[in-house]
């Protein structure tokens, strides 16, 4: 995660964009080999049943919603196909929730959300992860499409924040064991909010040092909040 943006920028400039996919082939093969050789097999449950309805409604519902949301601007939000897909996707996900609450062996156990701590943990950790991914997605668009910088330069600016986040994760884990989740999550999200607000003024006159500073501060907030928010739910 830390070296990915920088390595990706280098590969695009030194070779071509296809290398971003080719480089994952040996990594995937290594992961398969390690899984086969190092992971122990779980005990097979002969009495368990496949939740085919749950799997079908998840696949159909998410496909319809993702397709409609990705093509809505292009085809128009009033297009009959987009409207039908949105409606069909929502109906399928509604059926999923109702079915999973009644199914004895659900593929997605919705009953877990009856636990308020688990629900709060899921919501907060989802917000933090979305905030993290959004910045990684939008910042390269700003750097390359708006400011005209290279992929390599963009990757180098994204490297320090990723390293900071990676360093903060184990630190926040130790702090979580000592102080609990509430303070860490609140402080982390406050840091994320302040740094994200500061990033709204990034433009062609903003120095790279300033960008890296606020992105790194944001990385500290993400590192502080994410691990405790996930752990407290388990």
Domain boundaries, the chain: 1-45+111-234, 52-103
| DSSP annotation string for 59-109 | HHHHHHHHHHHHHHHHH-TT-HHHHHHHHHHHHHHHHHHHHHHH-SS-SS-
Cα-Cα-Cα-Cα dihedral sign, residues 125, 126, 127, 133: positive
Q: What is the pLDDT of residues 26-45, one digit of tens each?
A: 999 999 999 999 988 877 76
**What whole-number distance in Å separates Cα of residue 57 and Cα of residue 84?**
16
Nearest to 222 by CA among 191, 199, 194, 198: 191
Asked if 68 and 85 count as a contact pair (C-beta separation under 8 A), the reply is yes
**What whole-number distance in Å separates Cα of residue 124 and Cα of residue 6?**
29
Phi then psi dihedrals of residue 149, to 5 deg: -85, 165
CB-count burial class (<10 Å; 0-12, 13-18, 19+) for 226: buried
Phi-psi region of 203 (alpha: psi -120 to 50; beta: other; left: phi over 0): beta
Instruction: Give the pLDDT score at 41.
Output: 82
Asked if 230 and 121 count as a contact pair (C-beta separation under 8 A), the reply is yes
Instruction: Give the pLDDT score at 2.
Output: 64
User: pLDDT band at residue 86, thresholds of 50, 70 and 90?
Assistant: very high
Q: What is the pLDDT of residues 158-203, one digit of tens each?
A: 888 888 988 888 898 888 888 888 889 999 999 999 999 999 889 8
pTM of the model: 0.76
Asked if 82 and 76 count as a contact pair (C-beta separation under 8 A), the reply is yes
């Amino acid at each position: 995660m830390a070296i990915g943006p920088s390595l990706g920028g280098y590969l695009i400039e030194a070779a071509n964009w296809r290398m971003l996919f080719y480089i994952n082939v040996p990594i995937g093969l290594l992961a398969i080999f390690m899984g086969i050789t190092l992971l122990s097999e779980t005990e097979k449950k002969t009495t368990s049943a496949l939740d085919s309805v749950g799997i079908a409604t998840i696949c159909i519902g998410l496909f319809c919603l993702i397709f409609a949301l990705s093509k809505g601007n292009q085809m128009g939000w009033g297009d009959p196909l987009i409207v039908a897909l949105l409606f069909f996707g929502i109906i399928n996900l509604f059926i999923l929730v109702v079915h999973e609450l009644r199914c004895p062996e659900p593929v997605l156990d919705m009953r877990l959300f009856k636990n308020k701590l688990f629900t709060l943990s899921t919501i907060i950790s989802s917000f933090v992860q979305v905030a993290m991914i959004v910045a990684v997605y939008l910042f390269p668009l700003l750097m390359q499409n708006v400011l005209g910088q290279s992929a390599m330069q963009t990757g180098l600016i994204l490297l320090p924040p990723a390293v900071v986040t990676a360093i903060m994760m184990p630190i926040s884990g130790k702090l979580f064991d000592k102080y609990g989740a509430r303070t860490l999550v609140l402080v982390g999200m406050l840091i994320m909010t302040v740094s994200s607000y500061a990033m709204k003024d990034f433009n062609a006159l903003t120095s790279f040092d300033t960008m890296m500073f606020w992105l790194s501060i944001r990385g500290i907030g993400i590192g502080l909040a994410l691990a405790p928010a996930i752990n407290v739910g388990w």
